[in-house]
Amino acid sequence: SQAALLATEKLAVAGRLAATLAHEIHNPLDAVGNLLYLMKDGATPEESTQFLQLASQELDRVTQISRAMLGMYRESKTPVIVDVKEMLESVLLLLNRQMSQLQLEVRTEFASNASVTGYPVELRQVFINLLSNAADASTQGGIIAVRTKLRSAVRSGKTGGRQAGVEITISDNGVGISDAALPQVFQPFFTTKGEHGTGLGLWVSHGIIEKHSGTIEIESSTDEQNHGTRITVFLPRLDS
Ligand code: ADP
């Protein structure tokens, strides 16, 4: 049956993820083990200071990865009504420091009464991920636009149409995503940010939106004239 197939697919994904995760966490932990060994083995005070610093960097990496992962699993059991405008405004407030450091201009256009039924901690995580990606991609004085629109139901006999819900778009005029990178951005651990990225943000976000029966799409351009990224999230109302 379809449900069984889906479950099998999910197990396969979970298995692959566990293997990758073990690998990602193993490397920094091995490094910490080696550094501690070197310190026990009689390092000079200068060396010890350096080793400690390196070990703490490696542990930060482990913390970063586990935080990003947990975003997906911590949450209440029943969905509640979420005011999308309120949520976006609070996330923008949270990211205010990074955004004002870059002197970014944030343009908002919120539909009133845009609410969905869902898991607020998780949805918040999605918007934190998407907006901090937009800020990361931006250069000094860049523009980030956040818009919400109400969508009414579209009835269609064959496909079942589309449910009523809220469409959220987050656009930036940052560096954009290359054609080579674009197909990979939703994969776990794909990052172009080196040590600063976990590559889990979009993967986790995709999982959360899927859990809400929504969709997430990404368009991007690195053209010199017109570079930037637009993410469109659709969340159905799920209330009836
Ligand atoms: P991370 O932010 O830790 O790298 P993500 O899964 O959130 O992980 O993003 C994966 C990659 O997708 C990023 O490293 C970046 O290359 C690309 N990306 C995501 N959002 C944007 C954006 N708004 N502009 C440019 N690149 C982006």
- The ipTM assigned to this model is 0.99
- Answer whether 67 contacts ligand 1 (Cβ < 6 A): no
The dihedrals phi and psi of 148, each to the nearest 5 degrees, come to -125, 145
The bridge status of strand 105-109 relative to strand 143-151 is parallel
Identify the residue whose C-alpha is closest to ligand 1 atom 14.
191
Where do we find the tokens 């934190």?
A: 128
The dihedrals phi and psi of 123, each to the nearest 5 degrees, come to -65, -40
List beta partners, residue 233.
168, 216
Greater pLDDT, 135 or 163 = 135
Residue 75 pLDDT exceeds 70 = no
Torsion sign across C-alpha atoms 86, 87, 89, 93: positive
Mutation test residue for ligand 1: of 191, 200, 206, the one with most atoms within 8 Å of CB? 191
Greater pLDDT, 238 or 83 = 83
**Short-list 137, 230, 129, 222, CA closest to 180:** 222
Least confident of 5-14, 32-41, 113-122, 171-180: 5-14
231 φ/ψ sector (left φ>0, alpha ψ -120 to 50, else beta): beta
The dihedrals phi and psi of 225, each to the nearest 5 degrees, come to -75, -35
Please tell me the pTM assigned to this model. 0.78
Burial pattern 194-211, b for ≥16 Cβ within 10 A else e, equals eeebbbbbbbbbbbbbee
Residue 240 pLDDT exceeds 50 = no
| Proportion of the chain above pLDDT 70, given as a percent | 85
Average pLDDT for 187-195: 89
- Answer whether 163 contacts ligand 1 (Cβ < 6 A): no
